[in-house]
Chains A and B, each alone.
Chain A
Amino acid sequence: MKEEHRQDGPKKYGMVIDLDKCTGCGSCMVACMSENNAPFREDESDKLLSVAWLRLYKLTNGKPYPDTDVCYLPRPCMHCEGHNGHSPCVSVCPATATDYDSATGIVSQIYTRCFGCRYCMAACPYHARVFNWWDPVWPDGMEKYLNPDVSVRMRGIVEKCSFCYHRLQRAKDKAYAEGRREIREDEYQTACTQACPAGAITFGDLNNPKHAVYKLRKSPRAFRLLERLGTNPKVYYLSSREWVRRAGDNYLADEATGAGKHMAEHKG
């Protein structure tokens, strides 16, 4: 049995988001919120206080008409691997509430373990983590529509995108019942991936050459956000526009993009 476990090989679930395809419709955000029981309040006008695991950013090239260009950028949790699983949030958590799983590459967040110090929020360079200032209040009857696979969070704790980990748990359950250990690519897909009408989001195992993300992330259009920080994120973005790729990191005026990519390759 133990040998069979080793045959599985470690997975590294990751995402490739094609910004040339993204129209900024926000379906991914809506799908994410409903899938993961994201709490909301009557007044959601202050976005700094609202809970969103996946947030859509609008980038502009800052040029006047007719050269104005706009790009929308969906930002889930990057599930940073860092160096050998040393992601920024995991390394600072004093409660062991967040943890890097080397078998899946997913950064977990355990709500019942978190005591809300928000050190991880300060450490995360992507603002991927949100704090619950209030207990969730669901409009009458809505609690019946909550996803039973995702636990509802209480106030005073931090939460973030889990790459819809509960879907992997369900997929594994099905595979085990059928006597399989390996799950197929289409059996585990995140809610945002499936909701995107433009097909801009691709999800899969970055270690598996048969998965679409394996090839896509090697595209010359590919870049990652703030990759020179050494966070080694598992969310890749594709864009054919140079100014968008430059927006992914704090490049100097005379600096070419892709420097971070080369650095990451050198480090292996």
Chain B
Amino acid sequence: MSTVEEKSQEVTEEQPDDATPVDPPEPPPATEAEPKGGILPAFLIGIVASLIVGWVVFPQLLYSKKRQPVDFNHAIHVREVGNDCAGCHYFREDGTFSGIPKLDKCVECHAEPIGISREEADFIEKYVATGTEVPWYVYAKQPPCVFFSHAAHIKMGHMECATCHGDIGESEHARVYQENRITGYSRDIWGHNISGYTRHTWESMKMADCARCHQKENVHQSSVQTKKGACFVCHK
């Protein structure tokens, strides 16, 4: 019974509302016009915000920033060790490349502190004294399905180290290592520009970058299916 009464009350309350729109006829067109003027600015603000999120905020979130365990000074080592990069990054007898040197290579000179820098003292205390390998982050680390021959590029192709690695040899401090949180790859693989645009050969190390140069130099363009580079040249 009570529900019926309530319903009847609601109905009676609505009646005055329906009657009221008669005396203010102007507000409705005004409220319609307001969003019309606001759509374009709102759309533009949305676009700009999305662009900022996509191009500035997203890369910040995507890549974690890690400091190298030792703030390595390449410039001073190139000067003091000599023999350019090959002083520390040398070829082994079987043609494989040593990559980042192991601790015993460092100990050849740094068994005792030879400078006065705090960084060196820390390095000796933490790694040399305890005999632990330095857990370097490798900027150029490739996925496990990739085979890269330094011998083919340096010994046969007579390429400069800087063509792929840039001017790292002149750096006085170890650059921050940025790791893609999703793939776990170094940012140097995709390149620092999130759009993938590069001006120099050392700015990115993707498969397309390898393929572009191989195509230009006509190296192993022997794939029957693609008429381009064969897969079993860089893949394993």
The reply to whether the CB of A249 lies closer than 8 angstroms to some CB of chain B is no
- Asked, given contacts A110-B231, A176-B95, A178-B95, whether A149 binds B236 with beta carbons under 8 Å apart, the answer is yes
- Asked, given contacts A170-B94, A176-B151, whether A103 binds B145 with beta carbons under 8 Å apart, the answer is no
The complex places the Cα of A179 from the Cα of B154 at a distance, in Å, of: 11
B199 to chain A, nearest CB (A): 25
Contact between chains at B218 and A112 (CB < 8 Å) = no
Contact between chains at A101 and B231 (CB < 8 Å) = yes
Q: Which of B94, B224, B236 is in CB contact (< 8 Å) with A165? A: B236
Contact between chains at B95 and A110 (CB < 8 Å) = no
The complex places the Cα of A207 from the Cα of B234 at a distance, in Å, of: 24
Q: Which of A220-268 contact B (CB under 8 A)?
A: none
Contact between chains at A108 and B94 (CB < 8 Å) = no
Contact between chains at A177 and B223 (CB < 8 Å) = no
Q: Which of A86, A91, A151, A165 is in CB contact (< 8 Å) with B145? A: A151
Contact between chains at B156 and A176 (CB < 8 Å) = yes
The reply to whether the CB of B144 lies closer than 8 angstroms to some CB of chain A is yes
The reply to whether the CB of B55 lies closer than 8 angstroms to some CB of chain A is no
The reply to whether the CB of B96 lies closer than 8 angstroms to some CB of chain A is yes
The reply to whether the CB of B226 lies closer than 8 angstroms to some CB of chain A is yes
Q: What are 18 residue pairs bridging A and B, where the CB atoms are less than 8 Å apart in the complex?
A: A2-B218, A85-B224, A90-B225, A91-B225, A99-B226, A99-B231, A108-B230, A111-B145, A112-B235, A151-B236, A166-B147, A173-B95, A173-B152, A174-B151, A176-B95, A176-B149, A177-B151, A181-B156
* Chain A residues within CB distance 8 Å of chain B: 1-2, 5, 10, 84-86, 90-91, 93, 96, 99-104, 106, 108, 110-113, 149-152, 162, 165-166, 169-170, 172-179, 181
The complex places the Cα of A111 from the Cα of B151 at a distance, in Å, of: 25
Contact between chains at B155 and A176 (CB < 8 Å) = yes
Besides A104-B230, A112-B145, 7 more A-B contacts (Cβ < 8 Å) are A5-B219, A100-B225, A111-B145, A151-B236, A172-B149, A176-B95, A177-B94
Contact between chains at A103 and B230 (CB < 8 Å) = yes
The complex places the Cα of A172 from the Cα of B152 at a distance, in Å, of: 8
Residue of A nearest to B97 (CB): A173
B138 to chain A, nearest CB (A): 15
Contact between chains at B226 and A86 (CB < 8 Å) = no
Candidate in A91, A100, A152, A179 with the most chain B CB atoms within 10 angstroms: A100
Measured between beta carbons, the chain A residues less than 8 angstroms from B223 are 99-102
Candidate in A85, A102, A113, A150 with the most chain B CB atoms within 10 angstroms: A102
* Chain B residues within CB distance 8 Å of chain A: 91, 93-96, 143-145, 147, 149, 151-152, 155-158, 217-220, 222-226, 230-233, 235-236
- Overall SS of chain A's interface: loop
Which 9 A-B residue pairs are closest in the complex by CB-CB distance? A85-B224, A177-B95, A173-B95, A174-B95, A103-B222, A108-B232, A101-B230, A176-B151, A100-B224
Contact between chains at A110 and B145 (CB < 8 Å) = yes
A182 to chain B, nearest CB (A): 12
Contact between chains at A165 and B222 (CB < 8 Å) = no
Measured between beta carbons, the chain A residues less than 8 angstroms from B152 are 172-173, 176
Q: Which of A102, A108, A110, A152 is in CB contact (< 8 Å) with B144? A: A152
B75 to chain A, nearest CB (A): 28
Measured between beta carbons, the chain A residues less than 8 angstroms from B231 are 99, 101, 108, 110, 113
Residue of B nearest to A177 (CB): B95
Residue of B nearest to A153 (CB): B145
Measured between beta carbons, the chain A residues less than 8 angstroms from B95 are 170, 172-178
Measured between beta carbons, the chain B residues less than 8 angstroms from A165 are 232, 236
The complex places the Cα of A234 from the Cα of B91 at a distance, in Å, of: 35
The complex places the Cα of A173 from the Cα of B94 at a distance, in Å, of: 7
Measured between beta carbons, the chain B residues less than 8 angstroms from A91 are 225
The complex places the Cα of A172 from the Cα of B153 at a distance, in Å, of: 12
Measured between beta carbons, the chain B residues less than 8 angstroms from A169 are 147, 149, 236
Residue of A nearest to B91 (CB): A177
Residue of B nearest to A102 (CB): B222
The complex places the Cα of A76 from the Cα of B100 at a distance, in Å, of: 37
Measured between beta carbons, the chain B residues less than 8 angstroms from A103 are 220, 222, 230
